[in-house]
Amino acid sequence: MRRFAFIAPLALVVGLAASPVLAQSPRINVTVGGDLTQEVRTLGQREVDAQIARLTEVVAHELAITGALQGAEINLVLTDLKPNRPTIEQANARPGLSVIDSISIGGATIEGEVVTADGQRLPVRYSRYSTSLDEVIEYGPWNHADRAYVRLARNLASGRLVSH
């Protein structure tokens, strides 16, 4: 199984110089796993890489604001990713598919673990998808996946690591 990873120290993601406080900032690792590894070609490698970077950015930003999980290592795996509009790769593969008019239930599933500064391993699981096509009002393909990232990040910052 091929795994894709984007690893970024928090200092690089938020654009700050290294300091003693940031030395304790959490390290965030995001990879692709589960059924999503089979979907990368269909969605487009560039699209999936952008979602890995976006998840990393959203989590890093929330943890920087709250100061949560200092010294931890956060290992996240995107196991499912559904766009709410077709990606460019999907539209190219099916010429009749419209990137503007075609809509779908979008969202993401993220699993993994947090390794706290004292070495404790805590499971992470979060999943969020739109519940109806009526929710698809934005034009970007990843708006509902982005909502999943934001809510996961808030959960991590508040200590709620497992959600269904």
Q: What pLDDT score was predicted for residue 29?
A: 98
Cα angle: 43, vertex 80, 39; to 5 degrees: 30
The pLDDT of residue 164 is: 56
pLDDT of residue 140: 79
What confidence score (pLDDT) does residue 12 get? 44
- The pLDDT assigned to 20 comes to 46
From 3.40.50, 3.30.160, 3.10.590, 1.25.10, which CATH number describes the 5-158 domain? 3.30.160
Q: Are 114 and 122 in contact (CB under 8 A)?
A: yes
pLDDT one-digit tens code per residue, 105-148? 899 999 999 999 999 999 999 999 988 877 767 667 899 999 99
pLDDT-flagged residues of the chain (< 50): 1-4, 9-23
Distance between CA atoms of 64 and 107, rounded to whole angstroms?
24
Beta carbons within 8 Å of 10's beta carbon, 6+ residues apart: 22, 25, 26, 27, 28, 60, 63, 64
Residue 97: its pLDDT value, please?
85
